[in-house]
């Protein structure tokens, strides 16, 4: 082996060792991609995710904020596995294929019951989004033959702030977040579309900086894990009230002029 080959081999070995040394702590501290944010995750995937996170927390692989985040995710997944993904007020589009194609929208009512194709009610308590098609098809098959049903869950979001018609709106999860403002009638004058934020139960889920990136990249509601009940808050641009500024300048100038005259009078009197 020549001297040059030895040098090259030594450099490769050192580089490989450095990569392996750096990869160890990183893999120990950083949890793998979250399945909890995948709204269509199966029950098996969610259960596997819980087991994985519990093992990481128990072994000490996750510490500090990473451990706290993992514990919150574990609790959230367990709630989903027990209660399901649906709540009163949710809606989903039903497409039934028989002799022809028929589409309808079902709303989740009290006791988490829905009406499908004018058939007797069915409850979807404890049902995940990934299980909805199977549950609906099994229910329909009890009453009608040769019918295939597909569902598309809608996301109910509140669009508030500088929009023409603030309120709650339903949108498909694959709709870009940039379209949310148009659902509420479009922006009003001085609306700052580059600074909107998303909140969930008073907790900010998407900052202004993250929203700008989401709009730029055409990110969808589902990709951002936007859920029913989340709030889009559209702020207004900060506008300077020049009339008020002029008034304040005039008042301050008058006070300064009065102070100067008072001091001049006072010192003249002392002399």
Which of residues 24, 59, 83 is at a domain's end?
83
Claim to verify: residue 149 and residue 163 sit in the same structural domain: no
- pLDDT 10s digits, 72-127: 999 999 999 999 999 999 999 999 887 778 888 899 998 899 998 889 999 999 99
Claim to verify: residue 125 and residue 160 sit in the same structural domain: no
Looking at the DSSP bridge assignments, the partners of residue 148 are 97
Which of residues 35, 59, 83 is at a domain's end?
83
DSSP 242-270: HHHHHHHHHHHHHHHHHHHHHHHHHHHHH
Inform me whether the pLDDT recorded for 242 exceeds 90.
no
Claim to verify: residue 159 and residue 149 sit in the same structural domain: no
Confidence band (pLDDT; 50, 70, 90) for 46? very high
Q: Are 41 and 52 in contact (CB under 8 A)?
A: no
Which of residues 153, 183, 198 is at a domain's end?
153
Inform me whether the pLDDT recorded for 5 exceeds 90.
no
Q: Would residue 8 be called left, alpha or beta, if left means φ above 0 and alpha means ψ between -120 and 50 degrees?
A: alpha
CATH number where 180 lies:
3.10.20.90
Number of domains within the chain? 4
- pLDDT 10s digits, 250-267: 788 778 877 887 777 777
Q: Are 200 and 150 in contact (CB under 8 A)?
A: no
Claim to verify: residue 132 and residue 163 sit in the same structural domain: no
Domain of residue 76: give its range.
3-83
| 212-244 b/e (C-beta count within 10 Å ≥ 16 → b) | eebbeeebbbbbbbbbbbbbbbbbeeeeeeeee
- pLDDT 10s digits, 127-166: 999 999 999 999 999 998 888 899 999 999 999 998 999 9
- This prediction has a pTM of 0.68
Q: Are 191 and 225 in contact (CB under 8 A)?
A: no
């Amino acid at each position: 082996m020549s001297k040059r080959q030895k040098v090259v081999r030594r450099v490769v070995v050192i580089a490989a060792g450095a990569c392996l040394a750096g990869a160890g702590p990183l893999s120990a501290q950083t949890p793998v991609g979250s399945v909890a944010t995948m709204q269509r995750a199966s029950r098996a995937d969610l259960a596997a995710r819980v087991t994985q996170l519990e093992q990481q927390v128990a072994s000490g692989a996750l510490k500090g904020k990473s451990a706290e985040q993992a514990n919150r995710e574990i609790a959230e997944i367990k709630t989903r596995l027990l209660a399901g993904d649906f709540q009163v007020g949710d809606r989903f589009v039903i497409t039934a294929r028989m002799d022809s194609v028929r589409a309808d929208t079902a709303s989740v009512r009290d006791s988490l019951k829905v009406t499908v194709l004018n058939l007797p009610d069915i409850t979807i308590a404890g049902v995940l989004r990934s299980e909805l098609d199977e549950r609906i098809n099994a229910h329909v098959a009890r009453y009608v033959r040769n019918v295939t049903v597909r569902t598309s869950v809608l996301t109910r979001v509140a669009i508030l702030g500088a929009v023409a018609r603030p309120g709650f709106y339903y949108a498909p999860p694959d709709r870009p977040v940039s379209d949310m403002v148009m659902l509420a009638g479009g922006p009003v004058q001085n609306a700052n579309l580059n600074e909107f934020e998303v909140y969930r139960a008073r907790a900010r889920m998407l900052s202004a900086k993250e929203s700008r990136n989401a709009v730029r990249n055409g990110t969808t509601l589902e990709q951002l894990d936007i859920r029913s009940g989340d709030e889009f808050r559209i702020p207004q641009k900060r506008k300077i009230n020049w009339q008020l500024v002029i008034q304040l300048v005039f008042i301050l100038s008058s006070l300064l002029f009065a102070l100067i005259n008072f001091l001049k009078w006072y010192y003249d009197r002392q002399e």
